[in-house]
Chain A
């Protein structure tokens, strides 16, 4: 063998490299115990909730579908953010800790390719987890004689995946600021607590204590991706936000028919902004 001088490669990101890293990340995640722990919890609880929400009381048809969907939305609010946050948090920090990131970046790949390849691979694995939960729930719902609104059900599943991916971005942002997976995981769980509990209970408590105007209350809800998901999902299957009181009425009156697009755009913003910030931080990080 003789040493050959390779032709220098372009510095521009290559889709093929991103795909290679995404495929490897997907494969690694599907072998990870964390992933299967969350997926099993989500699928198992989804199946349990469908069974509990639809006892043998003769509730069938669209009413039964509404109960199933409401149960799933509640479950998604708790479990899916945790899945996205933890997977994202241990991604970069875990690879840095083990030396895998250094090894990967010793290849002719850029940080941009590394980041987006990792992100896409993890987003695909989250699609499998969310799809599994909704798939099982859908099958059980239909088996129990409930008339499912397929499009609405798929739309809620899509919103759940968007929530997962939004939280993945937040998790990866945390990961780019930490050096060990332990620290990243701890920070991610703290953020989960903030989003889940302070977002919902905190907002309700604050609004009562401070007599918060309804428009501020609605905008505050949008500032939390979990609340944005809940509003979007409830609007999708119930057609109104009356259950949310004055803020819901305000939202319906203000946005009317464009409420679902506004809420969906909010979800998309939650997907794009943290991931972009994480990518910028990863590109600029001086020690890997």
Chain B
């Protein structure tokens, strides 16, 4: 569905994406994962024809450079944040987007229901919460019922509750046969939304794998801060150390190093040993 070959993007002499080649199959969901500045958003901008680039990008067999409008007619794009058109109402914005795509306006009512924003249809964009703005962004992307959804850091500006809602909404869209391309630096989000992760750093692909393998491949670790019932701290350290964990005392709790993708293993180990945990925090 999307074929990227030897993609390079330079700003002046600096290459922000270097010789990237990726093929994304129809119906596949893929994440470009990496820290800020890794080049993942630039790839999205290249696919949309917003920036010039070296190399080739084909979408459904169409060259993105010469058939930009045709390519974009196949794509629903969700920006990082809808921080513009603040004076428009939700319906006005969707009508505008539908009109640009030559779609009938009754499609607007359908997508408002799909993303559950119909109760806010007459509010101005600036009056919406971050979560609702993100749902509106997804609504504009869904208007043409596109075969491809391109999501640029879809939850990066949301609080935990709004992020959870957005991820659940996107998870539902994933199973509708669309090709889903997401950029993200949240490992949990990637794990829930995609089949394949393309990890990037400094403009190059560092690894490609299933989401569950990513933490292991990249050697990503996290620290759990466990608060045990009084008197159990020493025993918790003893049990964890005996099971191969790196555990240490930290004020009134235990700090234990875990794989970023299997944080529950330490908790399960303590539970089986009869050590009661009152609370926990994830430290990265």
Contact = CB atoms under 8 A, between A and B. Distances in A.
A3 B70 contact: no
A107 B101 contact: yes
A4 B79 contact: no
Given A8-B74, A20-B96, A100 B85 contact: yes
Given A98-B83, A99-B81, A99-B83, A9 B50 contact: no
A227 B142 CA distance: 52
B147 A103 contact: no
Contacts of B81: 99
A3 B176 contact: yes
Interface stretch (A10-18, A137-145, A192-200): A10-18
Contacts of A1: 114, 142, 145, 176
Contact of B73 (A9, A20, A21): A9
Interface string A1-43: 1111111111100001100110010001001000000000000
- Interface size of A as a range: 20 to 34
Nearest to A109: B100
* Interface class of chain A by DSSP: loop
Contact of B69 (A2, A9, A98, A104): A9
Interface string B16-49: 0000000000010000000000000000010011
Contacts of A107: 72, 97, 100-101
A108 B68 CA distance: 7
Contacts of B146: 3, 6
**At the interface, is chain B mostly helix, strand, loop or mixed?**
loop
Given A3-B178, A288-B51, A17 B100 contact: yes
Residue from the set B51, B82, B85, B179 with the largest chain A CB neighbour count within 10 Å: B85
Nearest to A12: B69
A28 B125 CA distance: 13
A105 interface: yes
Nearest to B173: A1
Contacts of A20: 96, 99-100
Nearest to B87: A31
A114 to B, nearest CB: 10
B137 to A, nearest CB: 9
Given A6-B73, A288-B50, A103 B84 contact: yes
Nearest to B52: A286
A272 B57 CA distance: 35
Contacts, number: 107
Contacts of A2: 145, 176-177
Interface in B100-147: 100-102, 114, 140, 142, 144-147
Given A5-B60, A98-B84, A11 B68 contact: yes
Nearest to A117: B100
A5 B178 CA distance: 10
A147 interface: no
Contact of A11 (B45, B70, B97): B70
A15 to B, nearest CB: 12
A95 interface: yes
Contacts of A104: 100
Given A6-B73, A20-B99, 6 more contacts: A5-B60, A8-B60, A17-B100, A20-B100, A28-B87, A106-B79
Interface of A: 1-11, 16-17, 20-21, 24, 28, 31, 95, 98-100, 102-110, 286-288
25 contacts: A1-B142, A1-B145, A2-B145, A2-B177, A3-B177, A6-B73, A6-B74, A7-B73, A8-B73, A9-B69, A9-B73, A10-B70, A100-B85, A103-B77, A103-B79, A103-B82, A104-B100, A105-B48, A105-B49, A106-B50, A106-B75, A107-B101, A108-B69, A109-B100, A110-B69
